[in-house]
Structure 1
Amino acid sequence: MPNGEYVRYVALGDSQTEGLGDGNDTAGLRGWADRLAEHLTAADARLQYANLAVRGRLAAQVRAEQLAPAVALRPDLATVVAGVNDLLRPRFSAAEVAGHLEAMFASLTAAGAHVVTLTFPDVGKIAPLARPLRSRVLDLNTHIRVAAARHGVTVAETALAAVATDPRLWTEDRLHASPLGHARIAAAVAETLGLPGSDRSWEQPLPPRPVPSAWHAMAAELRWAATFLGPWLGRRLSGRSSGTGRTAKRPGLLPLALPLNQRD
């Protein structure tokens, strides 16, 4: 479909696509997929948008719960982003995760959708205590690229931009993008799709910031581990998920109201 003429956009995924880190559950979540839908709406007011993503979902769960409803919505554009929750698990197989992603790529492209996915930044540069996961991230990204190439899926290479690991693009939990991070992801996808008004400015570095002392850096790591890592591990050991009992925030295709600063 020519650039700028997408009118049925469906987003599949986990917490990042749901929008955690950009807004809250009381006022509402925005997130990169919503921001991309806003860009699409600015290009074509006919756009209808559904977001099936639910926090905490593994790639297999995204496939089992979201793929069939997504295909039924007959999207001409679909984004599929999942796998981060998998690579944080003790048992992880990049090939297995990519297999679930590829199944979604195949079904959605066969149904006529232009599919877009992302690569993931090095989590070890975002949270130093997560450095042991670096090889998993690189392996998953490689598998994603191969699977995407087999099905003509567009890959927004957010992993390759140095700014992707800037702490200011992430919330305090270091697992979810901040509002600025979500904005950069949306801009990256828009630029990859060649949408009107998009460019490569999403890759630009942020202004320099003071470098913390070694003591302050270590203290920050300990606070992060106590505040976020510990509770996260506790949920995993107990088999609980942040997404238990939750459903998609936009299960059906609906027009998206633009923010006031984007309206004519």
Structure 2
Amino acid sequence: MKELSRSTKENGIRVLLILLFAFIALVALFPIISLIVASFSPSTDLMRFGLTPELFFSGFTVENFQSLFGGEAGAYWRWYGNSLLISAILIVLSLIFSSMVGYALAVYEFKGKRFIFILVLLILMIPFEILMLPLYTMMVNLRLVDSYFGVMLPLIVAPIAVFFFRQYCLGLPKELMESGRVDGCTEFGIFARIMAPLMLPSFAAMAILQGLSSWNNFLWPLIVLRSNDMFTLPVGLATLLTPYGNNYEVLFSGSVMAIIPIIVLFLFFQRFFIAGLTSGGVKG
């Protein structure tokens, strides 16, 4: 009887925990659910009555997506492509250069190492709004205003990524570096062939974070970009709301489509992240 009572109590606690976490997940997903409901609702009714459950069941329509895919939103797909291109290039370059800097700060001893790391921490603590003016002045002098590279250049080596890779590389086995040197491998070969595979979990985590940051970046592209064809998706969607007219059909349906790359990025790198956690360079 005591074992049965304990089992019943444990099952009751498990059910309560499941309900609690389901409620928390529902609260966290509510903004996304609201956005999806709005994308399938007539924009005029949505502005008049707000977001209500009755609006979804009685006013369900796909006209918003028809407008998005029907050729009336040509600029939207241009913005979408710009964001995809910038985010993809920025993720690759950021992972390469930030991992190299973090790796060097972690495993090598050289003069000024501590000073460089302190500079990384100081830049990490400075709000980006303070750095915008000197960065913009730099882009003007380099003639990179209204260009893809002007958006990417200040973000390629992110302080948070350097700090993250440095902390991760501190736990890598140094014995593997000595083994590589004995076998005649160069320092770059040691990093690329031996250490980089061990850093797979950190690469996956930073790919998700950097991709999310680049895809949602609004302020810096707004400052650097000028022409409508060069806008990224957040900047382009913001231009749909003006005092002279609002294109809510494209705004709501386009915002739903903007979520897809982030979900795909997370699902893709999550598998590598979990697999990398189970691997190790040295056993015993």
In the superposition, the TM-score normalised over structure 1's length comes to 0.24
Instruction: Return the structure number with greater strand share.
Output: 1
Instruction: Return the structure number with greater helix share.
Output: 2
Max radius of gyration: which structure? 2
In the superposition, the TM-score normalised over structure 2's length comes to 0.23
